[in-house]
Chain A
Amino acid sequence: MEHTSERAFVRMSGVGHRYDPTPGSPMAVQNIDLDINRHEFVAVVGPSGCGKSTLLRMVSGLLVPSEGTVSVFGKQVDGPRDDVGIVFQKPTLLPWLTVRKNVLFPLKHKFGRYSSQDEKRANELLAMAGLEAFADKMPDELSGGMQQRVGIVRALLLNPDILLMDEPFSALDAMTREQIGFDLLKIWDENPKTVLFITHSISEAVLLADRVLVMSKRPGSVLDLIEVDLPRPRSADTIKQPRFSELTDRIRKHIYEPDAH
């Protein structure tokens, strides 16, 4: 990546979290060390309940880790930040606002208004996501995949440095899911961001990411950190490459035979 610097953009060192603050209580996540470079796309996979989402919430600042620190560009994260966009598992749209107003909502909410410039950018992003015809529709009139796209567009509107995605495509059917993944890559290519992408789909992680962090069962810790050396731009053909299967197999081994690594 062209912007890779010596200093990691997002740095997690010795990060761990327990939801029950009593010492000795079980950890949800422990001993996570991970450096993410600027504009790098890192995916996190692991069995359900391994604390993937906890990890993401700690990077977002919504959750303060009980052990270790998360820092962004050298500054410790101690609360929600402006330069972070977040996309949730389910499309988290306000049902009483149109698609365009949903996309513009963060601006309206933060500053009380938005300029025609902002509106132009919203329209551009919506067009990029193939949603220009739906800008004035209500969220409920859109399919699940479209709603999720709106959520992504909204997260991108403030042009955040960091995009956090918490299993964003898990509620979608397989075909929509693949397409929206490629669309995301296209958008990411045009608006480079540092992406932390949580998923439970191994192939999705390999298809999209620069690196894949494989987490263990609860308490979640790092089992492996895999460099995905597949060429970009990725497409449906990427899946056919033998290297793709090699990488997914390597991850699968960790998940199904956790002691074999």
Chain B
Amino acid sequence: MSTPLIQNENFVKVAAPLGVGILFLLFWEIAVQALEMPKYILPGPIEIFKALIDGWQPLLGALYITLKVTFLAFVIAVVLGVAASLLFVQSKWIEMSLFPYAVLMQVTPVVAIAPLIIIWVDDTTWALTVCAVIIAIFPIISNTTLGLRSVDPNLLSMFRMYRTSRWQELVRLRIPGALPYFFGGLRISSGLALIGAVVAEFVAGTGGAKAGLAYMILQSGYNLQIPRMFAALLLITLTGIALFALMVWLSNRALQNWHESALEVEH
């Protein structure tokens, strides 16, 4: 190799945070063992890993439930959010009349309305999904609407010179122009869908066969199974990272024709 690995920026980009992480875990493990910390207060990484392996069956089951709610909520939020944006850009009147309610939904803490939703919606999975949708939909609406609106006025004039129909204007100008904004919204929204799924389940607190990772955390807390609690937490974090990575990959795929500057429209 002509250049030392340490000078390779890509290598450092991965190795540096990885090193920090390993050092942190080492320190954690050593501190826990040196202080003889009881594992029901703070388990070491090894203990947590053991809990992950030992409890893989209930943990994976719970992960599946949480993932299901997250994906359902995310897909619904994208579909409804895009539909709302397309509706908003049809007329200033529609946007002015409805946008405040989108904001209202965003600013109301979902924890506060989750009990109501759980009463209203019989099926737990759907109740959790509704809560997660409420959290996840706003970035999609606001970003996509902004994207659809922020068309270069000169381009609009040009399209008008070609005597374009509103439909053509939407399909050929506004929608492609809004894509970077939309994908920016997707990244935020995917994380929020997961947060929504977890938060709603904390509130719902229902166990049984349909229990997700949040319930697993609650239950492990009651039983003082703190290593398992950490294991569940780890799974939630990993899911969030995976979702984010998936969104980055998706948007890079979709926007590969755009130059970097277009990709920088993120919020």
Complex Cα gap A60–B179 (Å): 30
Q: What are the residues of chain A within 8 A of B157 when measuring CB–CB? A: 57, 60, 62, 86, 88, 92
- Closest chain-A Cβ to B243's Cβ sits at a distance in Å of 26
* CB within 8 Å: A-B pair count: 56
- Closest chain-A Cβ to B240's Cβ sits at a distance in Å of 30
- Closest chain-B Cβ to A157's Cβ sits at a distance in Å of 12
Complex Cα gap A86–B155 (Å): 11
Q: Does B83 contact A (CB under 8 A)?
A: no
Choose one: A60, A61, A84, A92; the contact of B155 (CB below 8 Å): A92
Q: Does A96 contact B (CB under 8 A)?
A: yes
- Closest chain-B Cβ to A169's Cβ sits at a distance in Å of 15
Count, chain B residues at interface, CB 8 A? 22
Q: Digitize B166-189: 1 where CB-to-A-CB distance is under 8 Å, 0 elsewhere.
A: 001000110011010000000000
What DSSP secondary structure best describes chain A's contact surface? loop
Given contacts A90-B152, A90-B154, contact A106 B258 (CB under 8 A): no
| 8 A Cβ contacts from A71-121 to B | 79-80, 84, 86, 88-90, 92, 94-97, 106, 109-110
Q: Does A189 contact B (CB under 8 A)?
A: no
Residue on A nearest B262 in the bound complex, by CB: A95
Q: Does A20 contact B (CB under 8 A)?
A: no
A86 adjacent to B161 (CB under 8 Å)? yes
Choose one: B152, B257, B261; the contact of A92 (CB below 8 Å): B152
B162 adjacent to A109 (CB under 8 Å)? yes
Complex Cα gap A133–B210 (Å): 61
B160 adjacent to A80 (CB under 8 Å)? yes
Q: Digitize A129-140: 1 where CB-to-B-CB distance is under 8 Å, 0 elsewhere.
A: 000000000111
Residue on A nearest B179 in the bound complex, by CB: A96
Q: What are the residues of chain B within 8 A of A57 when measuring CB–CB? A: 157
Q: Does B253 contact A (CB under 8 A)?
A: no
Q: Does B90 contact A (CB under 8 A)?
A: no
Count, chain A residues at interface, CB 8 A? 23
Q: What are the residues of chain A within 8 A of B163 when measuring CB–CB? A: 79-80
| 8 A Cβ contacts from A42-62 to B | 57, 60-62
Q: Does A249 contact B (CB under 8 A)?
A: no
Given contacts A92-B152, A92-B154, contact A138 B161 (CB under 8 A): no
B160 adjacent to A140 (CB under 8 Å)? no
Complex Cα gap A79–B155 (Å): 17
The winner among A90, A92, A141 for most chain B CB atoms within 10 A is A92
Which B residues are within 8 Å of any A CB, using their own CB?
152, 154-155, 157-158, 160-164, 168, 172-173, 176-177, 179, 257-262
Question: Can you give 28 contacting A-B residue pairs, CB < 8 Å?
Answer: A57-B157, A61-B161, A62-B157, A62-B161, A79-B163, A80-B160, A80-B161, A84-B161, A86-B157, A86-B161, A89-B154, A92-B155, A92-B157, A92-B158, A94-B155, A94-B176, A95-B177, A95-B259, A96-B257, A96-B262, A106-B162, A109-B172, A110-B162, A138-B257, A138-B258, A139-B259, A140-B259, A140-B261
Identify the 9 closest CB pairs spanning chains A and B, nearest first.
A140-B259, A88-B154, A92-B154, A80-B161, A92-B155, A138-B259, A96-B176, A96-B257, A80-B163
10 extra A-B contacts, CB within 8 A, seeds A88-B154, A96-B258: A61-B161, A62-B161, A80-B162, A86-B158, A86-B161, A89-B154, A92-B155, A97-B257, A139-B259, A140-B261
